[in-house]
Amino acid sequence: MLSESAQLHAKILDTSPEAIPLRNGFGEGLVEAARADKNVVGLCADLTVSTRMEAFRNEFPDRFVEIGVAEQSLAVTASGMAAMGKIPFMTSYAMFSPGRNWEQIRTTICYNDRPVKIVGSHAGISVGPDGGTHQAIEDIAIMRVIPRMVVVAPCDSVEAKKATLALATNGSPSYLRLAREKTPVMTTSETPFEIGKAYEMWRADMPQVVIIGCGPVLHNALRAAQSLANDISVVILNAHTIKPLDTETIARLAAECGAVVTVEEHQIAGGMGSAVAEVVARTNPVPIEFIGVHDVFGQSGKPDELMEHYGMGVSHIIDALRRVVKRKK
């Protein structure tokens, strides 16, 4: 059943739950962070409206810089501003930032330990009709491997706002992953959020498997757990912070449940699932199944159809749960 301590949205499992784009939460959070700290500045690569930095630009025009279609310049300019004591948030599509400017992020930002916040919008397969060239499904992998980088993938707009506010004060280079489409609102203002601390969204009695996920696809995991409530007992963990990962909680739940399914809208190689597997292999080795994209590029299509095509639908998670339970000794 839904975790009471998580204080989730009352209509989270309704047929038609409330849906808001994650990027809206970022936009709200950025304005709030800027009101609280005059050093918060915003930079964008010609995508101010799409990334929801527009409200910040309108309220704080003297603290906003439009770089244009020049993502490498976006990164180095943000790093320079951070060196002068500012707290820069730089936004673009995830395919372009960190996709196009990774070396500048690595060397100019992280090597120098500049507290720049890289916000990658339109990540994942659910970008839809923009197609494979614009569907960032490798971004978690390339960002979590950089020393000093914090990586956060919120599950909904409410959590995206909380993450934005938290990153504004964490003092570290950070990556915030956002989706394009409207996605179900799963959390509330009362749901706990702390960088590096995962929390349970669902817990059944005597759990047989833990689902560890991040991002909006966690809603499919909740649907799967609800469908199997009388068959397989499940815990669902929202691992919104991929780095630093909540290794203690993951190791404990792997030991308690004896099986793991990871769920992410990303390549299964190098992403959150790989990070979880690294922890489980070192602490409590148990069977694991991975839900995500399997070593292929994306393509154009409707978001829901693409999620099904690439094996991230509710039925795919149910199948993975059945497989992993059978593999338990």
Indicate whether 152 and 279 sit together in one domain: no
DSSP 188-199: -TTS--BTTB-E
Q: What are phi and psi of 225, to 5 degrees?
A: -65, -40
Helices (H), 37-65: 54-59
Under a CB-based contact definition with an 8 Å cutoff, are residues 41 and 72 in contact?
A: no
Instruction: Please tell me the predicted confidence (pLDDT) of residue 192.
Output: 96
Indicate whether 28 and 173 sit together in one domain: yes
- Among 117, 151, 184, give the residue marking a domain's end: 184
Please tell me the pTM assigned to this model.
0.97
B/e letters for 129-146, b = 16+ CB within 10 Å, e = fewer, are: eeeeebbbbbbbbbbbeb
Phi-psi region of 232 (alpha: psi -120 to 50; beta: other; left: phi over 0): beta
**Mean pLDDT over all residues of the chain?**
97
71 is catalytic: yes
Q: Has residue 90 been placed in a domain?
A: yes
Q: Has residue 66 been placed in a domain?
A: yes
Cβ neighbours for 18, distance < 8 A, ≥ 6 positions apart? 9, 11, 184, 185
Q: What is the CATH number of the domain that holds 252?
A: 3.40.50.920
Q: Has residue 193 been placed in a domain?
A: no
pLDDT, one tens digit per residue, over 145-166 is: 999 999 999 999 999 999 999 9
Instruction: Please tell me the predicted confidence (pLDDT) of residue 84.
Output: 98
Indicate whether 156 and 229 sit together in one domain: no
Q: Has residue 13 been placed in a domain?
A: no
Active-site hit among 4, 59, 66, 71: 71
* Cα-Cα-Cα-Cα dihedral sign, residues 2, 313, 177, 255: positive
Instruction: Please tell me the predicted confidence (pLDDT) of residue 275.
Output: 98
Indicate whether 236 and 287 sit together in one domain: yes
Indicate whether 223 and 137 sit together in one domain: no
The tally of domains found in the chain comes to 2
Q: What is the CATH number of the domain that holds 108?
A: 3.40.50.970
pLDDT, one tens digit per residue, over 267-282 is: 999 999 999 999 999 9
Indicate whether 63 and 149 sit together in one domain: yes
Q: Tell me the β-bridge partners of 176.
A: 119, 152
Q: What are phi and psi of 251, to 5 degrees?
A: -65, -40
Structure tokens at 37: 């700290």
Indicate whether 30 and 158 sit together in one domain: yes
Domain that holds residue 57: 19-184
Mean of pLDDT values over 277-299: 97
Indicate whether 231 and 143 sit together in one domain: no
How confident is residue 323, by pLDDT bands cut at 50, 70 and 90?
A: very high
Q: Has residue 191 been placed in a domain?
A: no
Q: Has residue 274 been placed in a domain?
A: yes
